[in-house]
Amino acid sequence: MTVMGKSGRALASTLAIVTLAALLDGCETASGGAPEDGDSGGGASDGGSTGGSTGGSAGGDAASGGAPGGGGTAAGGDVGDSGGLGGEGGASVCTELTLFDGTGTRVDGCNAAGIEGWFSLRQDSFAGGLPVSDALSHSALSPDSGSSSSGEPQFTADSEKPCISGTLPVVTNAAGNACTSAECEWDTQWGAAITLSLDQLTREDDLDSYDSIAADVAGFEFELSGDLGSAQLEFSAVHAGASGYDYCVLPVAVGEVVRVDLADLEYECWSTDAGSLLLDRRKLTEISWRLRADNVSTHTVTNLCIESVSAFLGAEPQGPARGIDCLEGPVEHSSGGTITGSASKNAHFDTTRNEQNYTFSANGWGPNWASHTLTYGGTTLSVDAYSGSEGPFGEPAGFPLIHCGSYSGVDSQACGLPALLDGLTEVDTGLRWSHAGSGTDYAILLDAWLGDGLDYASGLQIWLLDPTVVEPVGTVRANNVYVGDDPERWTVWSGTANSVPIVTFTRPVGEESSEVALDLLDFIDAATAYGLEGDTLLGVAAGAEIFNGPITDLAIEDFCVEPQ
């Protein structure tokens, strides 16, 4: 975080170049209008400002509505001797990085960052718009102007700017008494915040996600005024699915220009043991200025105001760019067939993809398997219909799959596996799947077997879809983990099954990947920190673990493993 005095304001001045079509789509007011007889260039909100009568032959700078030697407004048309066409003057309004200039409580979307949203007041005395019902003391803050007349104090169209005043009570234990840190009700008496949504058309709309990486937004620069008393102020950002203002930096100064890079925000920045969770900068919902309550004293806040907010560019990628993809290029799958009935419960057949060997296995090994109809060919697999249920110890009904190498007692024809890990430089692995039918209790995964020599020693699983009915083996060891060149975030689980270590990477709750392309060695290297063992990669499989049927029309569209 860099803090600058007012005289040292360093807002990036380079403006993005946008097409007129994008401009009109993103900022309807940028078209200006043709000033009659060259009297004026229109108000600033109309795409120009003072460029009319003064912007003809002499022109003017872009901020005043006139292109040098041109003058006029953004789409002005013929305006007489002192007018002219001034596209540059209007366009500059929507290519600036200023989001908020200290007026009103809305960011209208007419900015180079593509941010549109509203300032709001949040505090621990309300939840879901209703007063909390416990017996504890809570924050009591209100907008300085234009507050809602009833219910939760909130900014309105009459609010001059986002300014608040009020008190933060001392944090207590559940009985309302003085507390040491471990017994304090921090989650219940968390304080108050002025928030700014990043993708919200009206105040009543749900918060949509904003991709700051795609927008190249590295962070925000802002200035606040007012009196905090002795309270601490933090700046935080929230991503979709997060439960609070946990990714933050503090303390934040008032009366100075403050510049914060989103990549510098830390999980639970107030803690000495914050952990390693990462803000997902591709799914931001809001930023906030949070007043922190504490267990020492009550704090009085007076006229705390947001005076300005700007974005700055130059976002670093979140997770390395995807580079490895054996799914790309032309593909030739060998022919296959359809199997059904109990006689095919444990059937397996050799197949090829681009002349590389694989094996299809029906693998209906679960104690509650009932029936299946499976169609295979090359490294494609369709679960046309599947019936069965989860076993008494969490076993799936079955796990139809395709594999390369030695897997679960079945060896494919030569495909480059098994292989000593020390002899491999990379293992390009890809999986693409889809589901057009019914049923939800299944997992889509890559499953790698590692050995001490050729003896099975541990398992590595990568779940692209995490079903709600079951969880991976063991417990969560880490969240928001990036691995090698894979751009996705993963949750890491580890435990044992039949005394064998199992490490599992799953997508975060509520997310799934319909396609992955990765170097499996990166995941093997990462998994060793969580107990993965072995010196040999025995085999790699891709398939669908079916826990509860019926499941229909579930497809592995393509799968590839290329050891090198």
pLDDT in tens, 45-96: 333 333 333 333 333 333 333 333 333 333 333 333 333 333 344 444 688 9
On whether residue 559 sits in a domain, the answer given is: yes
The Cα–Cα gap between 167 and 189 comes to: 12
Domain assignment of residue 108, given as a range: 99-313
On whether residue 329 sits in a domain, the answer given is: no
410 and 368, same domain (yes or no)? yes
123 and 161, same domain (yes or no)? yes
511 and 426, same domain (yes or no)? yes
Q: Is the pLDDT of residue 487 over 80?
A: no
Cβ pair 18, 110 in contact under 8 A: no
The Cα–Cα gap between 407 and 541 comes to: 7
Q: Is the pTM of this model over 0.85?
A: no
pLDDT tens for each residue of 4-13:
333 332 333 3
On whether residue 3 sits in a domain, the answer given is: no
Cβ pair 292, 270 in contact under 8 A: yes
374 and 486, same domain (yes or no)? yes
pLDDT at position 138 is: 97
pLDDT at position 34 is: 38
416 and 501, same domain (yes or no)? yes
Q: Is the pLDDT of residue 391 over 50?
A: yes
On whether residue 320 sits in a domain, the answer given is: no
Sequence-distant (6+) residues with CB within 8 A of 8 are: 257
On whether residue 500 sits in a domain, the answer given is: yes
Compute the C-alpha angle 332/337/339, nearest 5°. 145
Sequence-distant (6+) residues with CB within 8 A of 429 are: 326, 446, 516, 517, 518, 519, 520, 540, 560, 561, 562
pLDDT tens for each residue of 309-364:
999 998 876 654 444 578 988 899 999 999 999 999 999 999 999 999 999 999 99
CATH at residue 428: 2.60.120.180
Confidence of residue 17 (pLDDT cuts 50, 70, 90): very low
On whether residue 12 sits in a domain, the answer given is: no
Among the listed residues 222, 203, 217, the one whose alpha carbon sits nearest the alpha carbon of residue 282: 217
Q: Which one has a higher pLDDT value, 199 or 466?
A: 199
Q: Which one has a higher pLDDT value, 164 or 263?
A: 164
The Cα–Cα gap between 191 and 128 comes to: 16
pLDDT at position 482 is: 83
Q: What secondary structure, in 3-state letters, does 453-474 show?
A: CCEEEEEEEEEEECCCCCCCCC
Helix (H) / strand (E) element for 551: namely strand 551-563
On whether residue 5 sits in a domain, the answer given is: no
3-state helix, strand, coil in the chain (%, to 5): 10, 40, 50
Q: Is the pLDDT of residue 35 over 50?
A: no
pLDDT at position 319 is: 52
70 and 137, same domain (yes or no)? no
497 and 483, same domain (yes or no)? yes
The Cα–Cα gap between 28 and 26 comes to: 7
Residue ending a domain, among 94, 125, 146, is 94
On whether residue 482 sits in a domain, the answer given is: yes
pLDDT tens for each residue of 506-557:
987 667 889 999 999 999 999 999 999 999 999 999 999 999 999 999 999 9
Q: How many domains does the chain have?
A: 3
Average pLDDT, the chain: 82
Residue ending a domain, among 70, 94, 118, is 94
186 and 68, same domain (yes or no)? no
518 and 400, same domain (yes or no)? yes
The Cα–Cα gap between 542 and 457 comes to: 19
The Cα–Cα gap between 59 and 124 comes to: 54
pLDDT at position 507 is: 84
263 and 381, same domain (yes or no)? no
Residue 167 burial class via C-beta count within 10 angstroms: exposed 0-12, middle 13-18, buried 19 and up: middle
257 and 359, same domain (yes or no)? no
Percent of the chain with pLDDT over 90: 66
Helices and strands per DSSP (H, E), number in the chain: 3, 33
The Cα–Cα gap between 39 and 347 comes to: 85
88 and 103, same domain (yes or no)? no
pLDDT tens for each residue of 108-139:
999 999 999 999 999 999 998 899 999 999 99
Q: Is the pLDDT of residue 394 over 60?
A: yes
Cis peptide before 418 (omega within 30 of 0): yes
Mean local confidence (pLDDT), 39-43: 36
Classify strands 500-506 and 455-465 as parallel, antiparallel or unpaired.
Answer: parallel
